[in-house]
Amino acid sequence: MRRAMAEADVGDDVWGDDPTVIALEREVAELLGKEAALYVPSGAMGNLVSVRSQTRPGDEIMVHELAHIVVHEQGGAAVLAGVQTRTVAGERGVLDPGVLRTLLRDPDDVHTARQSLVCIENTVGELGGLVYPDERLSELAAFVHSQGWRLHVDGARLWNAAVATGRPPAELVRDVDSISVCFSKGLGAPVGSAVVSDADTITLARRNRKLFGGGMRQAGIIAAGALHALHHHRERLADDHANARRLAEGLAGHRRLQTEPAAVETNIVLARAGEGESAPALVAEFTEAGVWCASLSDSVVRFVTHLDVSQDDVDRAVERLAPLLQ
């Protein structure tokens, strides 16, 4: 990857003439079955550009209550896109059209916000990398479009969902209007995401990227890393999924930390702290033992496998943690 980056052909992406960025955008759009794509520095910017490009200030968007957009993006949708977010509960991160129907506002009522966009995640990161069920997504898309709204997928780990289901990425987003995908995380590129949609939306997204300070010059240097990741690191995500399950199985049955191996669908393991235990305190102990992880809350520890973690690494982690968990 570093060699590809060092040898990348570059231009000026603000002017739209960086050949490596152009190649990346064309390829990711084709992979997802959409007309066009836009390279952006981060997933958070990808989501924000998508929201702003499909709404107008004062609109209301609907998102799951645990969505990255409302949990981890500092209220950017409100601050920079001028929209209000209406959070909705849903099992496994899934939004139920029946529930959304009860939240409809009268578009002719001057007192209410105009509703225009629904946002979901695939995979659902806050719930451990769960794959959004295809049939539920199709039902949601049909409802969203019947209201004249648009549907955005935060697909930071869409590549994981594709590998877990054995289906092409384009099939997973055939019914949606925009997607943000990440080239770091599981794919291992050092930086970058893409917004993928129809050509008109991407034209507007390019303006909004510039507005948010995301215009880049010789971006082909980093786009080459993303292209290398797309070409070489997607299928190997299956290794990460297997390693995550192996880790969950290795840590199962302990008093201080409980795992559910059957609940692991992709590359994230959520483990619950035992009675009287604190997840942040456990993380501190694990770090001291040389195993890096994070506390998702006071009671949940999160482990994520990736291309820098081998099966042997997982086994060593289990070996180091087991004595601490009795």
Evaluate whether 156 touches 180 at the Cβ level (below 8 Å): yes
Sign of torsion over alpha carbons 95, 243, 168, 185: positive
Residue 326 has a pLDDT of 81
Opening angle at CA 210, ends 204 and 213, nearest 5:
145
pLDDT digits (tens, 9 = 90+) for 220-242: 999 999 999 999 999 999 999 99
Which residue in the block uniquely carries the two structure tokens 């770091």?
A: 184
Question: Using an 8 Å Cβ cutoff, are 8 and 20 in contact?
Answer: yes
Q: Please, are residues 175 and 186 in contact by the beta-carbon 8 Å criterion?
A: no
3-state secondary structure of 298: coil
Q: Provide DSSP, 134-188.
A: HHHHHHHHHHHHHTT-EEEEEETTHHHHHHHHT--HHHHTTT-SEEEEESSGGG-
pLDDT recorded at residue 6? 98
237-325 fold: Aspartate Aminotransferase, domain 1 (3.90.1150)
Task: State the CATH class of domain 2-232.
Answer: alpha beta
Domain residue spans of the chain: 2-232, 237-325
Successive 10-residue mean pLDDT values, the chain, 326 residues: 98 96 98 98 97 98 96 95 97 97 95 97 96 97 98 98 98 98 95 98 98 96 98 97 98 94 97 96 97 96 97 98 92
The reply to whether 237-325 shares the fold of 2-232 is no
Q: Which residue has the tokens 């006071």?
A: 298
